[in-house]
Structures are given as structure tokens and as C-alpha cells.
Amino acid sequence: MVELKSQASLNAMRPAGQAVARALDAVRRAASVGVSLLELDQVAREELLRSGANSPFLGYHPSFAPVPFPAVICASVNDAIVHGIPNEYRLRSGDLLSVDCGALVDGWAGDAAISFTVGAARPADTHLIETAQQALNAGIAAAVVGNRIGDIAHAIGRTCRAAGYGIPDGFGGHGIGRQMHEDPGVPNEGPPGRGLKLRAGMVLAIEPMLVAGGTDDYRTDADGWTLRTLDGSRAAHVEHTVAITKDGPRVLTKA
């Protein structure tokens, strides 16, 4: 069931969105050569604490996962697409890092992700990340009253495919509100003009995932969480929590 949020509820979702934005910003500032993924998780934990936020990631245990998620961020490096578990790995110059973070404040959830390079960036990575951002912007621009879910999916997918990138099969965005994952699903590719009609008060996490090598296949690490590209190429993932309003899309996870 798709829940429509009132204007007051959208306003109530902002603190969670701001908490996510602040945590991601802190992680981006802390992420440099030699810093470990576990240290970045700690940075996010402290920032969420400062915001009075809980983490919807920590202890999250969906049916596909063998263990509950042990961190407040997903940290996915290079060929890891999403759901990377922060570990002892220390960032190296030229790494591409995708960080996903959620927050719960006053019973409302926020969810966002960023991708960036550390140290000396490869031009190919810069292009991949820029295209991911463009795909997200295109998806957000399509999140308007009267459009359909398929229009968001089409805007994202078209942007990725035009650049020759792959889109991991079966992954995409989702409704969000009291729960981090609510209906409807928001695919990252599909025909326009199809699916649920968008109405004011719908809140969607829009999250393109791009595979540089152009394949849509992925594999899962032995940890049961980390998704990796099958071709070993690099991946990018960006996300915002976006409310559909009569005045246009409102990004709730901006600072």
C-alpha cells in the first residue's frame, strides 16, 4: 500500500533527511587515503548521534541476508555496487567509494547515498559518477504529480544507457516514510507512462546504480550483503529521498 504523507508529515521527515545529509557530508570529508571503512562508519555514527538520529541500517535483517547489517553506512568500494559492509580496508588513491546512509528521527526515515573518488581520480570514474548524478537528477525531475513511476524509471535508465553503463538487474528505489522501505518499488529502468500514478504526498527514495562495464549482472560476496559487478568494472550509486508535492519534487535529504 502506498501511503500519502500530509504537508506536516513531509516537514516532519526533514530532520531525518538532514541527519542523513550531515552524516554523508562528514563521511565525505573524512574519506582520504589511508582511512578505513570502519573509521568512516564511526564518523557517521557520531554525526547521527549529534543529530539525535537512530540508524535504520544497524541491525537491519532482511530475509536475503545471513546476518543483520552491522553498521550505519554501506561502504562500497570500486567494483562493489551497493550494500558493502564497512571493514578494515583502508582507502587508496584512485578508489571510487559509494556510501549509503539512513536515519530515523521522531519515527521518520531518511535514506541517501553519494559516490566520490579518493586521491587521484580516474577520468572514467569521474564520468561514471557525473552520469549517476545526472540520472538521479533526471529521476527527481520526473517525480511530479501526474507522471507515473515508469517515467522516473525511464528517465534514470535512459541517462545510464546513453552513456553505455549497465544497470544491476532487479535493484532500485522505494517508497519511504515511517519505514525505510515502503511501497512502491522504483525501478531504475523501464518504459515511460507505465505503473503507479504519482500523487502529492508520495515520498520516494530514488537511487540509480551504474556499472561502468555495461553489464547488468552482479554477484554477492560470501558475506551475503556486498553486491559486486560480475565484469569487475567499477560501479556508482547515488540516492535522495524525494517528496512529490503540488509545487514539484522536494528533496528531503539535502543539507
Q: Give whichever of 72 and 205 is closer to Mg ion, judged by the CB atom.
A: 205
Q: Which of 41, 47, 79, 111 binds Mg ion (CB under 5 A)?
A: 111
Give the amino acid at 143: A
* Shortest reach from residue 186's CB to Mg ion, in Å: 9
76 versus 229: smaller Cβ distance to Mg ion: 76
Q: Which residue of 77, 205, 209, 236 would you call a contact of Mg ion, by CB under 5 A?
A: 205
Nearer to Mg ion, 70 or 94 (CB): 70
The one-character DSSP state at 37 is H
> Could you tell me which of 65, 71, 60, 98 has the C-alpha nearest to residue 222?
65
Q: Kindly write down the DSSP assignment for every residue of 61-79, as one continuous string.
A: --TT-SS---SSEEEEETT
Question: What is the C-alpha to C-alpha distance for residues 236 and 11, in angstroms, rounded to an integer?
Answer: 30
Return the C-alpha cell found at 101: 546512509
Length of the chain: 255
Nearest CB to Mg ion, comparing residues 82 and 212: 82
- 12-20, 110-118, 146-154, 220-228 -> range binding Mg ion (CB under 5 A): 110-118
Least Å distance, CB 34 to Mg ion, is 26
**CB-based contact 103:19 (threshold 8 Å):** yes
125 binds Mg ion (CB under 5 A): no
- Minimum CB separation of residue 181 from Mg ion in Å reads 7
Q: Is position 100 an interface residue for Mg ion (rule: CB under 5 A)?
A: yes
Number of residues in contact with Mg ion, rule: CB under 5 A?
5
Considering the rule CB under 5 A, would residue 238 count as an interface residue with Mg ion?
no
Closest to Mg ion by CB, 90 or 178: 178
Could you tell me the smallest distance in angstroms from the CB atom of residue 176 to Mg ion? 7
Contact between 241 and 108 under an 8 Å Cβ cutoff? The reply is: no
Smallest gap, in angstroms, from Cβ of residue 248 to Mg ion? 21
| Dihedral sign from CA coordinates of 106, 97, 133, 26 | positive
Least distance between Mg ion and beta carbon 123 (Å): 27
Q: How far is CA 156 from CA 186, 204, 235, 245, in A?
A: 10, 14, 15, 20
182 binds Mg ion (CB under 5 A): no
Q: Which of 188, 202, 252, 238 is nearest to 81 (CA)?
A: 238
Q: How far is CA 57 from the centre of its chain?
A: 12
Residues at the interface with Mg ion (CB under 5 A): 100, 111, 113, 205, 239
